[in-house]
A = this chain, B = another copy of it.
Amino acid sequence: VTDNVAAVLHAPGDVRIERRPIPEPGPHEVLVEIRAVGVCGSDVHYFEHGRIGDHVVRAPLVLGHESAGVVAGVGSDVRRHSVGDRVALEPGVPCGSCRECRAGRYNLCPDVRFFATPPVDGAFANYVTIHEDFAFALPAELTDEEGALMEPLSVAIWACRKGQVGPDTAVLVTGAGPIGQLAVQVARALGATELTVTDVNQHRLEVASEGGASRTLDVSRTPLAETDVEADVLLECSGHPDAVREGVRALRPAGRAVMVGMGPADEMEIPMAVVQNRELWLTGTFRYANTYPAAIGLAAAGRVNLRAIITGRFSLEDTEAALRAGRDDPASIKPLVVPGAAPA
């Protein structure tokens, strides 16, 4: 590919296909030719609303942060990669020396530069550059498309890690969208055997069953509170206030509630008396840290099945359709933009 075509968001609903210069990698950077990019709910939210909370799209922005590709060039000081290496990209490059970075919480670095978060461009393009330490070699067992999904898989791994999921934890996953599906698969891969999933979409619950859920619950028919579901870990992937509240109430003493889905408002009613009397722990996830090696390991060993959640492939020129896929198709879970695909 000798051109760099990018899908650029100019305003809510306004994505344009544009030609841009191929970027030059800095001394510690690699140039990557993108082969696959997942569409995330945050991409869709920027596309529809032009902002997420305080992050406002003020200048044209390339979306896409779930990506993999091939190294097409290397900066002068690069030691880790060579041209031709297949790599998955961890899309946030932190400063490396602030309080958060030094403590190993680099996902909370205030100076992180994260793909597709204003004003940093993302990966709906033929080429991007990234620090070599944030490009991870993909083994032969993994396709480019699977490589792109190391990013949402990281979100799921991070949630499981915060919840301390293991063989002695009953897990409740509320919301069976792409992250919920991966949370189920990762929880299973970490040894969880009691694994309940809730949603209101029967198709998604079936996919979750295939992914390892031991029990599924359509909460549009039976509210969680009317069941006997108990859990040690809540992985809340819906953002729905009822799911949060009922999920917390379902936790056993010393249980952990990990909020992954973003709610509709800044504040939320939480059953604090339950939190206190059972000494529960509530937290949330913001991206992830130190997850890519685990993600690649699990996927390469076949412990998770990423193909099960891929529900569409779109050319770079059809990025807008990819962004609309979730609204258009209730069976959509994870659409991909594949630059090498033929346009529709």
Contact between B133 and A166, CB atoms less than 8 A apart:
no
Q: For A191, list chain B residues within 8 Å (CB).
A: 189-191, 294, 298, 303
Contact: A193 with B102, CB < 8 Å?
no
| Residue pair A274, B266 in contact (C-beta under 8 Å) | yes
Instruction: Tell me, yes or no, whether A27 is within 8 Å of chain B by CB.
Output: no
Q: From residue A275, how far is it (CB to closest CB) to chain B in Å? A: 5
Determine if A282 and B285 form an interchain contact, defined as CB atoms under 8 angstroms apart: no
Binding stretch for chain B, among A17-25, A103-111, A175-183, A325-333:
A103-111
For residues 265 through 319 of chain A, which have their beta carbon under 8 Å from a beta carbon of chain B? 265-286, 289-291, 293-294, 297-298, 300-301, 303
Tell me whether B168 and A290 are in contact (CB under 8 A): yes
Contact of A301 among B102, B131, B193 (CB under 8 A): B193
Answer yes or no: A254 CB below 8 A from chain B CBs: yes
Q: Which residues of B contact A271 (CB under 8 A)?
A: 266-267
Option from B254, B267, B268, B297 in Cβ contact (under 8 Å) with A105: B254
- Asked whether, in the complex, the Cβ of B268 is within 8 Å of the Cβ of A108, the reply is no
A2 within 8 A of B: no
With both beta carbons as reference points, the residue of chain B lying nearest to A103 in the complex is identified as B104
Q: A12 near B: Cβ within 8 Å?
A: no
Residue A97 at the chain B interface, CB threshold 8 Å: yes
From A166, which residue of chain B is reached at the shortest CB distance?
Answer: B190
The interface size of chain A toward B, counting residues with CB under 8 Å, comes to 66
Instruction: Pick the residue among B96, B266, B272, B283 that contacts A263 (CB under 8 A).
Output: B272
Q: Is the Cβ of B275 less than 8 Å from the Cβ of A259?
A: yes
Given contact pairs A168-B297, A297-B194, A277 touches B270 in the complex (Cβ within 8 A)? no
Whether B283 lies near A273 (C-beta < 8 A) is no
A253 CB, nearest partner CB in chain B, Å: 4
3 tightest A-B CB contacts, nearest first: A104-B104, A96-B96, A276-B284
Contact partner, A286, options B162, B268, B270, B277, Cβ 8 Å:
B277
Q: How far is the CA of A290 from the CA of B167 in the complex (A)?
A: 11
B272 touches A270 (CB 8 A): yes
Give the docked Cα–Cα distance between A293 and B168 (Å): 6
Contact pattern, A 12-38, Cβ under 8 Å of B = 1, otherwise 0: 000000000000000000000000000
Contact A108 B193 (CB under 8 A): no
**Is there contact, CB below 8 Å, between B270 and A270?**
yes
Other-chain residue from B268, B279, B297 in contact with A269 (beta carbon distance below 8 A): B268
Other A-B contacts than A270-B272, A275-B282, 11 sampled, CB-CB below 8 A, are A102-B133, A104-B104, A167-B189, A167-B190, A168-B293, A191-B191, A191-B303, A259-B275, A266-B271, A266-B272, A277-B284
Q: Which of B100, B193, B298, B303 contacts A253 (CB 8 A)?
A: B100
Say whether, besides A96-B96, A97-B96, A272-B259, A283 and B285 are in contact (CB < 8 Å): no
